[in-house]
Amino acid sequence: MSLQTEKQKKSGLRWAGVVLLALFAFPMVLTALIPIVGQRDESVQENRTLKKLPAWTAQGFLSGAFQDDLEDALIDQLPLGEPVKGAVLDAKNGLLKTQQQLLFALRPDLKSNYSLIADGYYHYAGDAHRIVEMPKAYDAAHLEALAASFRGLPDVKIYFIENSRTVDFDHPAEENEALRQTLAAFAPAAWDVFPVEDYESYCRDFYQTDHHWNCEGSYEGYQAVYRLLHGTEEGMIPAGDTVGTDAVFQGSYARQTHDLCADETFAFKTFDLPKFTTEINGRRRAYGNTAMYARGKYPTDSLANHYANCFGGDFGQIIYDFGTEGKGKLLLVASSYSNPINALIAAGYDQTYVVDLRYYQEWAGKPFDPVSYCEENGIGTVLLLGDVNLFFVDGPEEGGE
Amino acid sequence: MVFSSFTFLLCFLPLTLVCYYLARGVRARNAVLCLFSLVFYAWGEPVYVLLMLASIGLNYLFGLLLGKWETPGRRKAVMIAALVFNLGAIALFKYGNFILENLGLLLGSALPRFNFSLPLGISFYTFQILSYVLDVYNRKTPVQKSLLRLATYIVLFPQLVAGPIVRYDQVQAELQERRETLADFVAGAQRFALGLGKKVILANAMGAIADPIFDAAVLPAGTAWLAAVAYALQIYFDFSGYSDMAIGMGRFFGFHFSENFRYPYMAESITDFWRRWHISLSTWFRDYVYFPLGGSRRGTARNILNLLVVWMLTGLWHGASWNFVLWGVYYGILLMLEKYVLDGVLKKVPGILRRMITLLLVLLGWVIFRLESVPAILSFMGSLFTAPFAGLGAYLSGQAGVLENTFWLLPAVVGCLPWAEWIRGRAEGKRWYPFVSGAFAVIVYYLSVGLLMGSTYNPFIYFRF
Whether residues A21 and B186 touch (CB distance < 8 A) is answered with yes
For B212, which residue in chain A has the nearest alpha carbon? A126
What letter does residue A29 receive in the DSSP assignment? Answer: H
B233 touches B416 (CB < 8 A): yes
| Amino acid sitting at position B113 | R
Domain-wise residue ranges, chain A: 14-79, 82-114, 139-392
Instruction: Average the pLDDT over each of A123-127, A290-294, B157-161, B190-194 and give the range with the smallest value.
Output: A123-127
Could you tell me if A6 lies within 8 Å of chain B, comparing CB atoms?
Answer: no
Nearest to B406 among A13, A99, A113 (CB): A99
Per the prediction, chain A carries an average pLDDT of: 81
CA torsion sign, B146 to B122 to B451 to A69?
Answer: negative
For A96, which residue in chain B has the nearest alpha carbon? B404
Interface mutation target, options B397, B410, B455, B457, chain A, most CBs of A under 10 Å: B397
Nearest to A85 among B7, B9, B453 (CB): B453
Tell me the C-alpha distance between A155 and A139, whole Å: 25
Chain B stretch 337-396, residues whose beta carbon is closer than 8 A to a beta carbon of chain A: 393-396
Per the annotation, the verdict on B256 as an active-site residue is no
Could you tell me if A15 lies within 8 Å of chain B, comparing CB atoms?
Answer: no
Interface mutation target, options A71, A89, A258, A303, chain B, most CBs of B under 10 Å: A71
For A27, which residue in chain B has the nearest alpha carbon? B10
How many residues can be counted in chain A? 401
B220 touches B392 (CB < 8 A): yes
Could you tell me if A20 lies within 8 Å of chain B, comparing CB atoms?
Answer: yes
Average of per-residue pLDDT across A346-353: 96
Whether residues B397 and A103 touch (CB distance < 8 A) is answered with yes
pLDDT at B388: 77
3-class DSSP assignment, residue B2: coil
For A58, which residue in chain B has the nearest alpha carbon? B46
pLDDT digits (tens, 9 = 90+) for A209-241: 788 999 999 999 999 999 999 999 999 999 988
Please, is A379 exposed, middle or buried when counting C-beta atoms within 10 Å of its C-beta (0-12, 13-18, 19+)? buried
CA torsion sign, B295 to B298 to B304 to B306?
Answer: negative
Radius of gyration of chain B (CA): 23
A110 touches B393 (CB < 8 A): yes
B93 touches B54 (CB < 8 A): no
Please, is B47 exposed, middle or buried when counting C-beta atoms within 10 Å of its C-beta (0-12, 13-18, 19+)? exposed
pLDDT at A172: 58
Catalytic residue, from B318, B319, B332, B448: name it: B318
- pLDDT bin (cut points 50, 70, 90) of residue A10 is low
Contacts across the A-B interface (CB distance below 8 Å): 125
Nearest to B404 among A27, A28, A92 (CB): A92
More confident residue, A117 or A147: A147
Whether residues A13 and B434 touch (CB distance < 8 A) is answered with yes
Nearest to A88 among B183, B399, B453 (CB): B453
Whether residues B404 and A95 touch (CB distance < 8 A) is answered with yes
Tell me the C-alpha distance between B120 and A277, whole Å: 53
Q: Which of B84, B21, B34, A320 is nearest to A332 (CA)?
A: A320
Q: Which of B415, B460, B449, B434 is nearest to B266 (CA)?
A: B415
pLDDT at A259: 61
- Distance between A291 CA and the closest CA of chain B, angstroms: 29
- Distance between A392 CA and the closest CA of chain B, angstroms: 28
Please, is B162 exposed, middle or buried when counting C-beta atoms within 10 Å of its C-beta (0-12, 13-18, 19+)? buried
Interface mutation target, options B404, B442, B452, chain A, most CBs of A under 10 Å: B404
- Distance between A27 CA and the closest CA of chain B, angstroms: 7
Per cent of chain B over pLDDT 70 is 97
Could you tell me if A88 lies within 8 Å of chain B, comparing CB atoms?
Answer: yes
Whether residues A124 and B400 touch (CB distance < 8 A) is answered with yes
Q: Which residues of chain B have pLDDT under 70?
A: 217, 455-465
Nearest to B182 among A17, A61, A87 (CB): A17
Tell me the C-alpha distance between B245 and B99, whole Å: 34
| Amino acid sitting at position A389 | N
- Distance between B400 CA and the closest CA of chain A, angstroms: 6
Spatial CB neighbours of A74, under 8 Å, sequence gap ≥ 6: A31, A34, A53, B6, B7, B10, B11
Distances (CA, A) of A280 to A267, A331, A356, A360, A394: 25, 15, 12, 11, 22
Q: Please give the backbone phi and psi of residue B25, each rounded to the nearest 5 degrees, phi first.
A: 90, 150
B275 touches B262 (CB < 8 A): yes
B270-296 burial, b for 16+ CB within 10 Å, e for fewer? bebbbebbbbbbbbbbeebebeebeee
pLDDT at A263: 67
A138 touches A166 (CB < 8 A): no
Could you tell me if A13 lies within 8 Å of chain B, comparing CB atoms?
Answer: yes
Nearest to A27 among B10, B393, B400 (CB): B10
More confident residue, A45 or B208: B208
For B446, which residue in chain A has the nearest alpha carbon? A24
Residue A244 has pLDDT above 50, yes or no: yes
Could you tell me if A244 lies within 8 Å of chain B, comparing CB atoms?
Answer: no
Whether residues A17 and B183 touch (CB distance < 8 A) is answered with yes
Could you tell me if B409 lies within 8 Å of chain A, comparing CB atoms?
Answer: no
B325 touches B316 (CB < 8 A): yes
Residue A270 has pLDDT above 60, yes or no: yes
- Distance between B112 CA and the closest CA of chain A, angstroms: 25
More confident residue, B139 or A26: B139
| Amino acid sitting at position A5 | T
pLDDT at B232: 97
Average of per-residue pLDDT across A68-94: 82
Nearest to A88 among B10, B183, B454 (CB): B454
Displacement of CA A92 from its chain's centroid (Å): 22
Interface mutation target, options A21, A48, A62, A75, chain B, most CBs of B under 10 Å: A75
- pLDDT bin (cut points 50, 70, 90) of residue A256 is low
Residue A134 has pLDDT above 60, yes or no: no
- pLDDT bin (cut points 50, 70, 90) of residue A63 is confident
Whether residues A259 and B406 touch (CB distance < 8 A) is answered with no
Chain B stretch 46-65, residues whose beta carbon is closer than 8 A to a beta carbon of chain A: 46-47
B41 touches B157 (CB < 8 A): yes
DSSP notation for B14-67: HHHHHHHHHS-SHHHHHHHHHHHHHHHHHHH-TTTHHHHHHHHHHHHHHHHHHH
